[in-house]
Chains A and B, each alone.
Chain A
Amino acid sequence: MSSFEDQFYRTDRAVWPRIKRDLSLAIWIAKLILTWFTQGRRLRKASCRALREENVLYLDDLIDSEKDG
């Protein structure tokens, strides 16, 4: 996957590629925010539980499995 710069920086003068860029970036950011409320909520709850119960929260169980699945 390419970097943020490769994906969202545009040097062309034409308006349409820049509108497309703005739209795809807005979607990308909206997904980030949504992730904070969905996956983030689960993570924060699990994190608080692990802290309270003095357990270890394994990130590969929670984060990688969500990505793979």
Chain B
Amino acid sequence: MANRFPSPDYHFGYRKAPVSGNTINGLGEMAQRRARQVFHGSGARKLEWSSLETFFGLTMPLHIYFRNALNRWKLRKADGPIARKRTPVSEPADMSSQLKAIARQAGAGAVGITQMTDDALYEGQTADYQTAIVIALPQDYETMKAVTTVKAAAETVDTYRNVSRIVMVLAAHIRSLGWRARAYGESADLLHIPLAINAGIGQLGKHGSVIGTEFGSNFRLASVLTDIPLATDSAVDIGVDDLCLGCQRCTIDCPADAISDQQQWVRGKKKWYVDFDRCVMYFVKTLGCGICIEVCPWSRPGRGPSLSQTLLAKRAKRDPT
């Protein structure tokens, strides 16, 4: 364990422990089902671990708490009326390119498009849209080196605020073309990670975050759900599993010992999984943590593309078929 990070001792806890987040998340379950919300609600409803989330929010410095509240105010325009005249889309591929260009112009680091799927929705929720546009916005790497401090927490909140702005711009543009579109920023209703993976933004890393070619996992996600006809992207293989199977950086550096070296069964899929109960306590203690994102070798600026090439070349050499 790297001793530059705070120790995993907690001066807060539950007298009567809530249902384990790992149980709610379906750890060890072989049958497929949709996810259930545990933590990170929008504050609009009570979840099993709500008390810890309340503690997390209310012990944040006011300027960070206030920025979050301000983002909630702006997010009211994440959906809105649709233009009466609909612009027909004869070439979905062209429309995809146009929307990606708008997103990049608004500041997006990576953009991917995929079919909307049920596994991106929590149990009991519906979102009657055809397509998801997923946006990744990188965080400032130098600032994020200060993870577990107020400085890094502020950068994370600002990145969420900025990525929310981008998806709202994109959704407003689509609605102006006469098609339904709803932006999901810091949303409690949508699981951005499965969409990001299907949209080719990156692959799931062992630390439970998406690793993309260019920014590693040093980015935040937001999405637009829409009905406008679009050409979709495909999931990518950039060699993340090859890296994560051999690299122990986040496993070792995680003070809470929450990151496993083995993929595990979660709701009918074998995948990387982070121990929720261990992670969340440390996350709350350290203003949103982020150690695993910061120490991931892929997150170092400029490293990703060459790392991906090397990993894929090694694999091709090892297994020429």
By a beta-carbon cutoff of 8 Å, the part of chain A in contact with chain B is 1-5, 7-13, 21-22, 25-26, 28-29, 32-33, 35-36, 39-40, 43-44, 47, 50-51, 54-61, 63-64
In the bound complex, how far is the Cα of B80 from the Cα of A61, in angstroms?
Answer: 41
Cβ contact of B11, chosen from A3, A8, A10, A47, cutoff 8 A: A47
- Taking a contact as CB atoms under 8 Å apart, the answer to whether A12 and B81 are in contact is yes
**Cβ distance A14 to chain B, nearest Cβ, rounded Å:** 9
- Taking a contact as CB atoms under 8 Å apart, the answer to whether B10 and A56 are in contact is yes
**Cβ distance A11 to chain B, nearest Cβ, rounded Å:** 6
Q: Can you list 9 pairs linking A and B with CB atoms under 8 Å apart?
A: A1-B46, A3-B44, A3-B125, A29-B73, A32-B43, A36-B62, A56-B13, A59-B52, A63-B51
Cβ contact of B80, chosen from A10, A60, A64, cutoff 8 A: A10
- Taking a contact as CB atoms under 8 Å apart, the answer to whether A39 and B14 are in contact is no
**Number of B interface residues in the complex (CB < 8 A):** 41
In the bound complex, how far is the Cα of B182 from the Cα of A47, in angstroms?
Answer: 39
In the bound complex, how far is the Cα of B52 from the Cα of A47, in angstroms?
Answer: 13
Interface of A is mostly: helix
- Taking a contact as CB atoms under 8 Å apart, the answer to whether B11 and A7 are in contact is no
- Taking a contact as CB atoms under 8 Å apart, the answer to whether A2 and B187 are in contact is no
- Taking a contact as CB atoms under 8 Å apart, the answer to whether A59 and B73 are in contact is no
With A10-B80, A33-B66, A59-B13 as known contacts, state yes or no: A4 contacts B44, CB within 8 Å.
Answer: yes
By a beta-carbon cutoff of 8 Å, the part of chain B in contact with chain A is 10-16, 41-46, 50-52, 54-55, 57-59, 62, 65-66, 69, 72-73, 75-76, 78-82, 125, 180, 182, 184, 187-189
Cβ contact of A2, chosen from B16, B44, B54, B55, cutoff 8 A: B44
Cβ contact of A63, chosen from B16, B54, B65, cutoff 8 A: B54
In the bound complex, how far is the Cα of B74 from the Cα of A44, in angstroms?
Answer: 28
The 5 closest A-B CB pairs, nearest first, are: A4-B42, A40-B58, A1-B45, A9-B79, A63-B51
- Taking a contact as CB atoms under 8 Å apart, the answer to whether A29 and B44 are in contact is no
- Taking a contact as CB atoms under 8 Å apart, the answer to whether B62 and A3 are in contact is no
- Taking a contact as CB atoms under 8 Å apart, the answer to whether A56 and B11 are in contact is yes
- Taking a contact as CB atoms under 8 Å apart, the answer to whether A2 and B79 are in contact is no
- Taking a contact as CB atoms under 8 Å apart, the answer to whether B12 and A56 are in contact is yes
Cβ contact of B189, chosen from A3, A10, A50, A64, cutoff 8 A: A3
- Taking a contact as CB atoms under 8 Å apart, the answer to whether B43 and A43 are in contact is no
Chain A residues with CB under 8 Å of B42's CB are 3-5
- Taking a contact as CB atoms under 8 Å apart, the answer to whether A5 and B73 are in contact is no
**Cβ distance A28 to chain B, nearest Cβ, rounded Å:** 8
For the complex with contacts A9-B182, A60-B16, 15 further pairs of A-B residues with Cβ separation under 8 Å are A3-B44, A3-B189, A4-B43, A4-B72, A29-B73, A32-B72, A36-B62, A39-B54, A40-B57, A47-B55, A51-B11, A59-B54, A59-B55, A60-B14, A60-B51
